[in-house]
Chain A
Amino acid sequence: MKVLVPVKRVIDYNIKPRVKADGSGVETAGVKMSMNPFDEIAVEEAVRLKEKGVVSEIIAVSIGEAKAQDTLRTAMAMGADRSILVETDVVTEPLAVAKVLKALVEKEKPDLVILGKQAIDDDMNATGQMLAGLLDRPQATFASKVDVADGAVTVTREIDGGAQTIKLALPAIITADLRLNEPRYASLPNIMKARKKPMEKITPADLGVDMTPRLSVISVAEPPERKAGIKLDSAAELVSRLRNEAKVI
């Protein structure tokens, strides 16, 4: 069984993003970039399935600028067998990304696509669902547990206030949530070995996909700062203010 895992290169989650002074976006020049943490979880899940003998091949895909190669190398160091870079300098929106992935799915014919539930840069949380929609395939988003058996996958999903379990016939689409697993490190020996794993480079045009974004960014700003309020002398005054002034209790 074949698994496709898309990975995105984003500003490292430890870095506080800085809005550019001209309001055109967030500064990425010279900023540490890493694999989107949810995508790491997706890669890890695929690798675990391979270690269990369920999966025979893992293909990592990244769509973005040439530097996304680094992210693919990391995916291969974690255990992906080969990778595909779809190179574009255009802002990658979930709709266009889903179209690229659809084309790759049709070409590579994986039984399972495992994605991170969202990228921590644009926080869209959409690509997996959209890919499933475009392919008319079943989806299991926000997965916290994945079991593959007998041509089907049983997924426990995080929902508001609890968990839901659903069963999908393969081929299917899964998006990974935080609790699915704890990703392994890309160890130094594996990073060295990953340098020799194959990486194919193509463009969206090769797949016949138009990447033109549907959303145009008018401006990006820092969120407004809160103003300091008032200091109170007693718990009694606080309760009265919360009740009568703020009306929150």
Chain B
Amino acid sequence: MTVLVFLDHEGGVIRQASRSAIAAANRLGDVDVLVTGPDAAAAAKSAAAIPGVKKVLQVTDTTGSSELAEPVAALLAQLADGYTHILATSSATAKNVLPRAAALLDVQPIPDIVAINDADTFVRPIYAGSALATVKSADAKKVITVRASSFEPVAAEGGNAVIEDVALPAGPGGSTFVSTELSKSERPELESARVVVSGGNGMQNEENFKLLEPLADRLGAAIGASRAAVDKGFVSNEYQVGQTGKIVAPELYIAMGISGAIQHLAGMKDSKVIVAVNKDPEAPIFQVADYGIVGDLFTILPQLEAELDKAG
């Protein structure tokens, strides 16, 4: 079995999430990868260095059409012949392209898998992670996106794959790329951040909530909030982590002054490591935290920053 992984990259650097997709693909068979978009040549070089990758297919394109779903989906469908599985990490790009490719192949895609049982059987969250469904595909080919947080990424260096050029097929032509604007914020996006620092009721007010910013800056973290903090107006709605807010699964989630209502836990319990600081030792957040400190967060917060500074 040979698997094709569609890689996401940023300015030629392969995203770690894509290396998680390669890790998942390694479980299924030999791995070829496809890189597209501007800086595809640089990305192809980085991809070739990833251990376990047999072949890198690169699309060099300067017209912007590799930013569009139509030609890329058509290309994937063309390339599909030689592969049993087509994989990508669950990014906005992959979610735009892969289902379209699946339709061209008459295949029902399997998005967001978190586990591989065998070549046909996969586990994926449904209802925003409130349940896990194990599904078996009857399709001859599988088109899959992978939840990066569930697969340990492969190393970035050590491999030496061959690089081949492939050309984009002419798409339906109805779609034109106009522009891309990346948001200016220095902080990563809540949903894709590696570290999230969240504040709750215990932050007391809007002013105090800002005290989380230096910690987040040090850790390169996104800032989140519990529903209580949003309800009380400490921060706006878009910060809310929880069942009715954003669902996050960072490597490190730091909950400051969050009691841990079920609705909040539903939005962050898939984080790899959870840290909780709360003055109430009975707070339910401690039931899910890997590391907890019982105490006044306004005392602990500056200590934490100092310790991080000390450690460099």
Q: What would 14 more interface pairs be, CB under 8 Å, given A138-B70, A230-B291? A: A19-B130, A94-B99, A95-B107, A129-B97, A133-B101, A160-B93, A162-B182, A167-B176, A169-B174, A215-B108, A217-B134, A220-B126, A228-B289, A229-B289
Interface residues of B toward A: which range?
35 or more
Task: Closest B residue to A177 by CB, please name it.
Answer: B92
Q: Which chain A residues lie closer than 8 Å to B262 at the CB level? A: 16
Q: Are A95 and B103 in contact (CB under 8 A)?
A: yes
Known pairs A16-B130, A98-B103, A239-B304; A129 contacts B70 (CB<8 A):
no
The yes or no answer to B1 lying at the interface (CB within 8 A) is no
Q: Are B174 and A129 in contact (CB under 8 A)?
A: no
Chain A nearest CB from B250 CB (Å) reads 9
0/1 interface trace, chain B 95-112, chain A, CB 8 Å (1 if under): 111111111101111111
Find B135's partner among A140, A215, A226, A238 (CB 8 Å cutoff). Answer: A215
Find B99's partner among A129, A216, A221 (CB 8 Å cutoff). Answer: A129
Q: Are A138 and B139 in contact (CB under 8 A)?
A: no
Chain A nearest CB from B247 CB (Å) reads 10
The yes or no answer to B175 lying at the interface (CB within 8 A) is yes
Contacts across chains A and B counted by CB atoms under 8 Å? 254
The yes or no answer to B251 lying at the interface (CB within 8 A) is yes
Q: Which of B44-52, B159-167, B270-278 contacts A (4 or more CB under 8 A)?
A: B270-278
Known pairs A215-B136, A226-B288, A229-B292; A248 contacts B272 (CB<8 A):
yes
Q: Are B126 and A123 in contact (CB under 8 A)?
A: yes
0/1 interface trace, chain A 219-249, chain B, CB 8 Å (1 if under): 1111100101111111110111111001011
Task: Closest A residue to B269 by CB, please name it.
Answer: A226
Q: Are B70 and A238 in contact (CB under 8 A)?
A: no
Given the complex of chains A and B, what is the CA–CA distance between A35 and B180 in angstroms? 32
Given the complex of chains A and B, what is the CA–CA distance between A126 and B108 in angstroms? 9
Q: Are A216 and B111 in contact (CB under 8 A)?
A: no
Q: Which of B214-258 contact A (CB under 8 A)?
A: 219, 243-244, 251-252
Chain A nearest CB from B167 CB (Å) reads 19
Given the complex of chains A and B, what is the CA–CA distance between A242 and B289 in angstroms? 13
Of A17, A122, A129, the most chain B CB neighbours within 10 A belong to A129
Q: Are B95 and A125 in contact (CB under 8 A)?
A: yes
Q: Are B291 and A229 in contact (CB under 8 A)?
A: yes
Known pairs A162-B182, A220-B131, A235-B304; A214 contacts B137 (CB<8 A):
yes
Given the complex of chains A and B, what is the CA–CA distance between A221 and B128 in angstroms? 13
